[in-house]
């Protein structure tokens, strides 16, 4: 797929996991918020279509593990069309702002912060960021819904100048 360029595809796959990674330290998170966050610890696997000019399958794995204090560490890897992407970070509930936050780092120089809120018995994260790919400005929107027993990631990367879009929806299940 060549719609937004190879780096944009990699950023798109990176964005699939961006909302569940973070580097923000909590300030004495409440027990209910911490318990909900920690309920997602474990190994997860998902795959789904990455759609643009062509459709490709993206396959992802991620592990959520106990971190320091009330944090949950995250490590993920996605593969598509021969490319591998790695993402790492930490999830946390920030008592001062009464919300979940997650920021991530990746092997494709993409980073961002996702804000999460309780929703439907789980946590919904939203990430908005802007990056560049081969000189083009790319608007990135990612949403992730963590519900008991499942995680779903919705992602869209838009070339601001041309309006060309790459999007993906990947459901994850605990392994």
Question: 6 vs 68, which has greater pLDDT?
Answer: 68
Any residues with CB less than 8 A from the CB of 105 and at least 6 apart, and which? 21, 23, 87, 88, 89, 111
| CB 132, CB 122: distance < 8 Å | no
Chain centroid to Cα 24, Å, comes to: 15
Provide the token pair at 22. Answer: 């973070």
Q: Please report, for the chain, the start and end positions of each structural domain, with discontinuous segments joined by +.
A: 6-174
Whether domain 6-174 has CATH 2.40.128.20 = yes
For residue 63, pLDDT beyond 90 = yes
Query: Cα–Cα distance between 79 and 72 in angstroms, integer?
Result: 23
Query: Cα–Cα distance between 98 and 87 in angstroms, integer?
Result: 25
For residue 40, pLDDT beyond 90 = yes
pLDDT > 90: percent of the chain: 25
pLDDT digits (tens, 9 = 90+) for 26-38: 344 578 888 999 9
**Residue 37 backbone dihedrals phi, psi, to 5 degrees:** -60, -45
For residue 60, pLDDT beyond 50 = yes
Provide the token pair at 132. Answer: 């560049």
pLDDT digits (tens, 9 = 90+) for 111-152: 778 889 888 889 988 888 887 777 888 888 888 788 988 988
Question: 45 vs 169, which has greater pLDDT?
Answer: 45
Question: 44 vs 26, which has greater pLDDT?
Answer: 44
Confidence bin at 171 (pLDDT 50/70/90): very high
Query: Cα–Cα distance between 142 and 122 in angstroms, integer?
Result: 17
What is the arithmetic mean of pLDDT over 35-46? 93
């Amino acid at each position: 797929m060549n719609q937004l360029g190879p780096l944009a595809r990699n950023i798109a796959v990176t964005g699939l996991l961006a909302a569940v990674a973070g580097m923000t330290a909590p300030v004495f998170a409440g027990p209910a918020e911490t318990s909900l966050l920690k309920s997602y610890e474990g190994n997860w696997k998902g795959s789904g279509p990455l759609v643009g000019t062509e459709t490709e399958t993206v396959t992802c794995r991620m592990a959520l593990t106990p971190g320091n204090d009330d944090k949950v560490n995250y490590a993920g890897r996605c593969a598509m069309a021969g490319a591998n992407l790695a993402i790492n970070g930490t999830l946390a509930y920030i008592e001062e702002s009464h919300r979940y936050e997650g920021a991530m780092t990746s092997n494709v120089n993409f980073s961002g912060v996702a804000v999460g809120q309780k929703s439907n018995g789980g946590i919904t994260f939203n990430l908005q960021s802007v990056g560049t790919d081969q000189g083009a400005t790319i608007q990135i929107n990612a949403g992730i819904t963590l519900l008991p027993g499942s995680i779903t990631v919705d992602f869209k990367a838009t070339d601001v100048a041309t309006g060309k879009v790459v999007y993906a929806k990947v459901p994850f299940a605990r392994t």
